[in-house]
């Protein structure tokens, strides 16, 4: 059974979800959908059209890729990366174009060719969940943001996990764009020494966020007067997930469509965590601007914590220095790691090791992320694995209170009685960030 759909889009269709309905009859076992659009590129930047598929009951996945020719296959036994296998219920389906970017220029012409098959399928592959040896309270190092071929990555799930093992991480997280199709395989690769974690990157036209700990598809589409980003955040948290604003100051359209955070009601609104370091520090994500945005939010009185994410999409340049999250958690488990991130019990580092704590006159000790309520506000940082010419800086209410030469390792204490929050940075001689703690709150 063959179907053909075609159409034309202009700049007036930019940032829309455009439905194309078709009917699947009883007994169908396989769909093959070929999509093509042109022109792909107008002058410097390309048009970006991505696809989502819906059956009569639920979403069947998203392919956040944008190539001018795309193929989707969904059957009872297997599916293209980004999409979910399973039975094909009879009724009205929807192949949706997400017009992430349509540049000024000639109209974009597109077409779908849909083939519906009825042949017997092989049995679906079942992924057995892997296990990690139990480990108790302690420091764990890992990544919260990574991609594969199930969205716009160039490597498969094994490639992402191999990267984590190469960097001797304790945990690694798969967050493909608006899809959970690879999470069963990701979960199967948990093993002794490496915890694999899951979620997805909520990818909208006006900002991205990590939905960590989520293993079911949510409606990720923000629609004016109908569905807000705050409502989606609430649904993520109701399922036990963690919402993290991703790379908030990255360039937006047309350089990186939808990458810059543009939701006024969530600046930061009720958000509790923000990714201030994306990829390597001097990447195009404008990390310094994201860090300073966070500092500004802290000064406004928001109790907001920071993370780092490699946002890795494939085998990286070996010279790049990525930051990772160093998390003090009750155990090496997804639940415990995310709980610790919610509490700000982590620091971000591409190498230096930090311990940042507060001690009051009565001997009460607090760590990064906590509230220091002692009579005398004394904070102490110890550091090691720094470069000899790195600088250790105490930041108090966004201002540099003191800067020290690292000399590979050391320790220092300060009184911070007249402050609202404080944290510690490590920077190299060029001013690039190499590590930063979450704050200790004073008032």
List domains and CATH numbers for the chain.
2-117 (2.60.120.380), 138-349 (3.20.20.140), 353-441 (2.60.40)
Q: Cα separation of 280 and 316, whole Å? A: 10
Residue 44, pLDDT above cutoff 90: no
Check residue 377 and give its pLDDT: 86
Q: How confident is the model at residue 362 (pLDDT cuts 50, 70, 90)?
A: confident
Q: Cα separation of 85 and 96, whole Å? A: 18
Check residue 246 and give its pLDDT: 98
Q: Which two tokens stand for residue 30?
A: 């396989």
Which positions ≥6 away from 161 have C-beta within 8 Å? 172, 186, 189, 194, 196
Residue 29, pLDDT above cutoff 90: yes
Check residue 38 and give its pLDDT: 95
Check residue 224 and give its pLDDT: 86
Annotate 192-219 with DSSP letters as a single string: TTBEEEEEEEEEETTEEEEEET--S---
Of residues 384, 305, 405, the one with CA closest to residue 346: 305
Check residue 88 and give its pLDDT: 98
The backbone region for 14, taken as left when phi is positive above 0, alpha when psi lies in -120 to 50, beta otherwise, is beta
Residue 150, pLDDT above cutoff 70: yes
Check residue 244 and give its pLDDT: 98
Q: Cα separation of 188 and 184, whole Å? A: 6
Q: Cα separation of 298 and 182, whole Å? A: 36
Q: Which two tokens stand for residue 415?
A: 């009184």
Q: pLDDT tens digit string along 391-416?
A: 999 999 999 999 999 999 999 999 99
pLDDT above 70: percentage of residues in the chain = 99
Check residue 105 and give its pLDDT: 87
Residue 204, pLDDT above cutoff 80: yes
Q: Cα separation of 203 and 232, whole Å? A: 12
Q: Cα separation of 218 and 204, whole Å? A: 13
Q: Cα separation of 13 and 45, whole Å? A: 17
Check residue 361 and give its pLDDT: 66
Helix (H, G, I), strand (E, B), or coil: what is residue 443? coil
Instruction: Write phi, then psi, for 81 (nearest 5 degrees).
Output: -55, 135
Q: How many CB atoms lie within 10 A of CB 166?
A: 9
Which positions ≥6 away from 337 have C-beta within 8 Å? 140, 142, 171, 195, 197, 327, 329
Q: How confident is the model at residue 302 (pLDDT cuts 50, 70, 90)?
A: very high
Q: What is the mean pLDDT of residues 275-297?
A: 98
Q: Cα separation of 180 and 115, whole Å? A: 25
Q: Which two tokens stand for residue 332?
A: 């090496």
Q: What is the mean pLDDT of residues 11-36?
A: 97
Q: How confident is the model at residue 375 (pLDDT cuts 50, 70, 90)?
A: confident
The backbone region for 160, taken as left when phi is positive above 0, alpha when psi lies in -120 to 50, beta otherwise, is alpha
Q: Cα separation of 369 and 438, whole Å? A: 6
Q: Which of 27-31, 44-48, 351-355 comes out lowest in average pLDDT?
A: 44-48
Q: What is the mean pLDDT of residues 302-313?
A: 98
Residue 316, pLDDT above cutoff 70: yes
Which positions ≥6 away from 131 have C-beta within 8 Å? 190, 191
């Amino acid at each position: 059974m063959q179907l053909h759909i075609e159409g034309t889009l202009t700049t007036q269709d930019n940032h829309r979800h455009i439905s194309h309905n078709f009917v699947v009859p009883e007994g169908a076992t396989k769909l093959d959908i070929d999509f093509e659009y042109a022109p792909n590129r107008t002058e410097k930047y390309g048009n970006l059209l991505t696809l989502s598929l819906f059956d009569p009951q639920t979403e069947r996945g998203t392919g956040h890729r944008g190539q001018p020719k795309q193929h989707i296959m969904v059957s009872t036994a297997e599916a293209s990366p980004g999409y979910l296998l399973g039975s094909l219920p009879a009724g009205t389906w929807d192949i949706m174009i997400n017009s992430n970017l349509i540049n000024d220029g000639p109209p974009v012409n597109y077409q779908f060719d849909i083939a519906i098959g009825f042949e017997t399928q092989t049995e679906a592959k079942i992924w057995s969940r892997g296990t990690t040896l139990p480990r108790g309270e302690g420091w764990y190092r890992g990544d919260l943001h990574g991609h594969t071929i199930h969205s716009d990555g160039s490597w498969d799930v094994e490639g992402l996990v191999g990267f984590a093992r190469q960097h001797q991480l304790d945990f690694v997280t798969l967050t493909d764009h608006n899809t959970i199709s690879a999470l069963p395989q990701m979960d199967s690769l948990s093993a002794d020494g490496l915890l694999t974690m899951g979620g997805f990157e909520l990818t909208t036209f006006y900002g991205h966020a990590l939905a960590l700990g989520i293993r079911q598809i949510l409606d990720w589409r923000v629609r004016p007067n109908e569905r807000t980003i705050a409502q989606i955040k609430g649904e993520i948290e109701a399922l036990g997930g963690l919402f993290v604003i991703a790379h908030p100051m990255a360039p937006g359209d047309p350089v990186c469509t939808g990458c810059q955070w543009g939701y006024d009601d969530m600046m930061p609104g009720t958000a509790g965590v923000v990714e201030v370091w994306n990829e390597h520090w001097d990447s195009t994500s404008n990390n310094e601007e994201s860090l300073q945005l966070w500092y500004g939010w802290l000064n406004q009185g928001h109790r907001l914590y920071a993370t780092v994410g490699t946002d890795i999409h494939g085998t990286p340049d070996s010279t790049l220095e990525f930051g990772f999250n160093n998390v003090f958690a009750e155990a090496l488990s997804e639940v415990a790691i995310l709980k610790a991130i919610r509490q700000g019990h982590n620091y971000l580092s591409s190498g230096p090791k930090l311990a940042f704590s507060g001690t009051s006159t009565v001997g009460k000790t607090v760590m990064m992320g906590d509230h220091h309520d002692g009579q005398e506000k004394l904070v102490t940082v110890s550091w090691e694995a720094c470069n000899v010419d790195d600088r250790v800086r105490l930041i108090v209410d966004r201002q540099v209170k003191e800067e020290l030469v690292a000399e590979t390792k050391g320790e220092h204490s300060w009184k911070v009685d007249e402050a609202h929050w404080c944290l510690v940075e490590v920077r190299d001689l060029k001013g690039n960030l190499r590590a930063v703690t979450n704050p200790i709150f004073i008032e």
